[in-house]
Amino acid sequence: MTFYLVTQHSFSDPQPQEQAIMIDALRELLGPWYLYIKFVHVTFVMVWVFSTAHAYAYYVVPVFKAWRRNPEDEDVIELRDWVMERFDQGVIMEHVAYPIILITGPLLFIAGGWNSSSDWLMLKLAIVVLITLPIEILDYHLSHFGGAKANIRATGDKEAYEAGIHLHWYFLLYSSPVIMPAALLIVFLAITKFSF
Ligand code: HEM
């Protein structure tokens, strides 16, 4: 049997029957850990949903509003830049939590024997993939990679820095009203197991 598997199929391209065997084995392995995996999943969901709420509502929004009212005020600009760079750091918690959710979710899916007949799960997955994933990818870029304000400041390019701040501000302005209800809807679906 092993000889057959090795000679007939590459491991990177498993056949449906082999896939079913692999998933069954994984389910047996993970089954006893279901509630522990769920604990990790839900804990990091809480971190993902709420870790930036306070900073966003009480630091980022007020300082940006102050800057919009006084666009030339050097003190306000300095405060805005400081808050934004701290926010880039603070959002690390959210961005560590997100991949952990994306790993533990499918583990629960396999361990619990869930399938596409669960409406709540399919809708939840659609929202995760179509709404949260693209927004988070952009957010990773703006906060930690090319768009990270500290990185741009280090280049000494003041225009690029200002453009980076503007871009991130518009990103927050347009993504927040989308991602906040989407996240709550995902949690609602997961908890109520709504069917329609
Ligand atoms: C932003 C992403 C996600 C959020 C906010 C989220 C939220 C939650 C919450 C709050 C629960 C707990 C439900 C309860 O205790 O009743 C849960 C459970 C679960 N999630 Fe996720 N989840 C996410 C991503 C995923 C992904 C990608 C999958 C992949 C299939 C997934 C699959 C599951 C499964 C199977 C359960 C177990 C339901 C149960 O045993 O009650 N989740 N999720």
Give burial (CB, 10 Å; 0-12/13-18/19+) of 146.
exposed
Long-range CB contacts for residues 25-30, cutoff 8 Å, separation at least 24? 26/110, 26/111, 27/110, 27/111, 27/113, 30/107, 30/110, 30/111
Residue 15, pLDDT score: 81
User: Dihedral sign, CA of 182, 126, 12, 38?
Assistant: positive
The closest-lying atom of ligand 1 relative to the alpha carbon of residue 132 is: 1
Whether 149 is in the pocket of ligand 1, judged by its Cβ within 6 Å, is no
- Distance between CA 113 and CA 126 in Å, rounded? 19
Question: In sequence order, what DSSP letters do the residues of 31-72 get, joined into one string?
Answer: GGGHHHHHHHHHHHHHHHHHTTHHHIIIIIHHHHHHHHHSTT
Rounded to the nearest whole angstrom, what is the distance from the C-alpha of residue 85 to the centroid of ligand 1?
31
Both tokens of 95, joined, read: 């961005």
Distant-in-sequence contacts of 179-182, Cβ < 8 A, 24+ apart: 179/131, 179/132, 179/135, 182/127, 182/131, 182/132
Residue 46's pLDDT is 98
Indicate which residue's Cα is closest to atom 26 of ligand 1: 105
Residue nearest atom 36 of ligand 1, based on CA coordinates: 108
Q: Which of 6-20, 45-59, 86-100 has the lowest mean pLDDT?
A: 6-20
Is 51 touching ligand 1 by the criterion CB < 6 Å?
A: no
Check if 43 has its Cβ closer than 6 Å to any atom of ligand 1.
no
CA of 58 to the centre of ligand 1 (A): 29
Q: pLDDT, tens digit, for every residue of 133-175?
A: 999 999 999 999 999 999 999 999 999 999 999 999 999 999 9
When pLDDT is cut at 50, 70 and 90, the band that residue 1 belongs to is: very low
- Tens of pLDDT, residue by residue over 98-144, are 999 999 999 999 999 999 999 999 999 999 999 999 999 999 999 99
Residue 41 Cβ < 6 Å to ligand 1: yes
Q: Which one-letter amino acid corresponds to residue 191?
A: I
